[in-house]
Amino acid sequence: MANNMSYRYAFFVIGLSLLIVSPLVVFFIPRMIPMTFYFVKYTWFYYVPFEAYVVFAIGIIILVICCALLFFGKMRRWTIISSGILSIVALVVFYGSTRCYITMDDNGFTYRGLFEQQKQYAGWENVTQIERVEVAAGEPGNATYHISFDNGDMITFKEDKFVQASRGKMRGKYSLHSIPVIFTNP
């Protein structure tokens, strides 16, 4: 009985630790994975869509639920099996969320959506239109870019400090490839 209790409290501590550390992990891991594993020299920026952070947070919540099941379920057979299944689901969720990214460089865009297997590439010559949605004066937030490609795909990303640093290079590509740019004010 005492041995069973120590396992239960170990899962309690793991779940509580995940809850405490999760605010930091959610903001660093989804951005760090693409910058590490998909690094290509001369890339202007790596952008991770907000959806990837949300899905990663859902994965952490699933792991916390696994630990709670093992603690409150008193290590019964059904709690162990359901926690094992939820752990596998959490791994799939983590895997899918960390593969979602957008990069921009001199040659074009490389992007992959949530849970997509193949990364997509589109050169600057494949861009049909760029729309920049401005933020109203006095409102918090940054501008949003909607980039449409000739294959029907569209990527969306918000302007952060890395995108701002690349705006001059982006303008050069707009003019070189005669890409129409639409500025929208809300």
Residues 86-137: tens digit of each pLDDT? 999 999 999 988 888 898 888 889 899 888 888 889 999 999 999 998 887 7
- The segments of the chain whose pLDDT lies below 50 read 1-2
Token duo for residue 70: 């093992």
| Segments making up each domain of the chain, as ranges | 2-98, 106-184
Residues 7-40: b if buried by 16+ CB within 10 A, e if exposed? ebeebeebbeebeeebeeebeebbbebbeeeeee
pLDDT given for residue 146 in this prediction: 92
Coil, strand or helix at 137: coil
Coil, strand or helix at 49: coil
CATH says 106-184 is which class? mainly beta
pLDDT given for residue 56 in this prediction: 93
pLDDT given for residue 131 in this prediction: 92
pLDDT given for residue 1 in this prediction: 45
pLDDT given for residue 62 in this prediction: 94
How far is residue 101's CA from residue 59's CA, in Å, rounded to a whole number?
18
Token duo for residue 180: 């129409």
How far is residue 162's CA from residue 46's CA, in Å, rounded to a whole number?
8
pLDDT given for residue 4 in this prediction: 59
How far is residue 43's CA from residue 108's CA, in Å, rounded to a whole number?
10
Coil, strand or helix at 126: helix
pLDDT given for residue 147 in this prediction: 92
